[in-house]
Amino acid sequence: MPGIKRLKLVSVAALSFNDARATVLRELGNTMPPPAIESIGFVSSAGRILAEDIFADRDYPPFHRSMRDGFAIRAIDLDLNLRIIGEVRAGQTFNGALQTGETVEIMTGAPMPEGADAVLMVERATRNPDGTVKAIRKNEPNLNVVPRGAEAREGAILLERGTRLDYSAIACLASVGRTSVAVFPQPKVAILATGDEIIEPHETPRPGQIRNSNAWSLAAQVARAGGIPVILPIARDNKDHTRALIEQGLQHDLLLLSGGVSAGRYDIVEPALADLGAEFFFDRVLIQPGQPVVFGRARNRFFFGLPGNPVSTMVTFEVFARAAIQILGGASDTELPLSLARLTVPFRHKPGLTRFLPATLSGGEITPVASKGSGDIAALARANAFLIADPAQAEYAAGDPISVLPK
C-alpha cells in the first residue's frame, strides 16, 4: 500500500517513556489531516473540541460595573456628607450625573452612574440623621468597580480553536450569544481484546478463564478522552481470526488492541498486523507496567497494542493512547496533567524504568497503594492517582517530591 512501509517483525530498540510519548505526538501531528467540522447547539457541546475561535461581541463588562452593594460616589468626596439622589439596580441605568456631595445607592452588578468612580460598601458607610451618608473608611478611584472592557474588549478571542468545552466555556458561549458552535467530530475508537482465555463479563468463567475487563475499562477511558468507543468481538488465538477483526478495527479512526503483544509463543497480534503491512514505530517502552506496548500504523490508521494485564492496559492508555484520541478529536492541549506531591513514606524501586504505581493523593501528599502487580485491579480501584518513579532515581525519602498523574 502506498505510504506504508512493510517491516519485518523484529523488535526495535526500546524507547524511554519521554521518547515514546514524543513519537506518538509527532506521528499523529504530522500525518493526520484536519478533522471535519460540524455545528451543534451550545447546550450539547460540553466535552467537545472547538473548531473555531469564539470572539467577544462587545466589551465585557459593557459598562463600568459595581462589584458591591453600596453607594456610587466620587472618590474625591471622601470627607463629605453625601446626599442620596437615587438608586440603581442591576439591569437598570441612572439618568443623570453625580455632582459634588451626591451619591446614588447601587446594587451589585449595576452600571455606575455618570460621574461616579468608586463604590462605598454598605459596611463602610454610616447614615446620618438627616439622611446623608458618610464614609467610615477611605475610598480610592475604581474601588469596588469593574471598568468597562476589563474582562474582554470587543473582538477579543475568548475561547480558542482546539479548546475542550467545559461548564465555564458553555457560560462564555451563552454570554456572547453563541447558541450554535463549530466543533470537531468525536473520533471512533475500535477496541479489540484478544486471547482464548477471555470471556464476556456476563459469562461464568471455567478454570483458566477470565472476564473481559479490559475492553470495558478502555471504553470508559476512550469516552473520557472525548472519543466514541466501539467494542469488537473478542479475538481468539488464531491469526486469521485476529487479522479479520483487526481489519474491521482499522475501519475506525483508531484501533486499540489489548493483549497478545508480548513475546510469548501464542502472541499473534504483531504477526497479524505485519501481514496487513503495518508500520511499527515502537514495540517496547522502558516503563512498568506496560513495557511491551506497541504503536504503529496500518492502512492509514493508527493503532496501539496494549499489554493484556489490566493495570498495564489502563496505564498505557492514559500515557499514550489518550493523547492520540485528543489529537484525532482536534484538541490543542495534549499535555499530561502532571504535578508534584510529597511522599508520606520512604519509597524505592529498581532504576532503569519509569514506573507508574497506584497511589492515593490528598492535600499535596502521595501514598503508594499496596499492589500485587499489573493484574491487581482492586489495588488500582483503591487509588486516585499514579506516582511516577524516575528511572534515574532509586530511592526517595518520606517528604521527597515525586511526580504524580491523577487517575
pLDDT in tens, the chain (407 residues): 333 333 444 455 699 999 999 999 999 988 777 778 999 999 999 999 999 999 999 999 999 999 999 999 999 998 899 999 999 999 999 999 999 999 999 999 999 999 999 999 999 999 999 999 999 877 788 899 999 999 999 999 999 999 999 999 999 999 999 999 999 999 999 999 999 999 999 999 999 999 999 999 999 999 999 999 999 999 998 889 999 999 999 999 999 999 876 655 457 888 899 899 999 999 999 999 999 999 999 999 999 999 999 999 999 999 999 999 999 999 988 999 999 999 999 999 999 999 999 999 999 999 999 999 999 999 999 999 999 999 999 999 999 999 999 99
pLDDT tens per residue, range 292-326 = 999 999 999 999 999 999 999 999 999 999 999 99
Are the CB atoms for 144 and 64 separated by under 8 Å?
no
For 19, residues 6+ apart whose C-beta sits below 8 A from its C-beta are: none
Are the CB atoms for 200 and 234 separated by under 8 Å?
yes
Tell me the C-alpha distance between 168 and 203, whole Å: 43
pLDDT tens per residue, range 141-150 = 889 999 999 9
Tell me the C-alpha distance between 36 and 187, whole Å: 10
Q: Is the alpha carbon torsion for 357, 362, 367, 371 positive or negative? A: negative
pLDDT tens per residue, range 43-72 = 999 999 999 999 999 999 999 999 999 999
Q: For the chain, how far is it from start to end, CA to CA, in angstroms?
A: 39
Residue type, 80: L
Tell me the C-alpha distance between 373 and 312, whole Å: 9
pTM of the model: 0.86
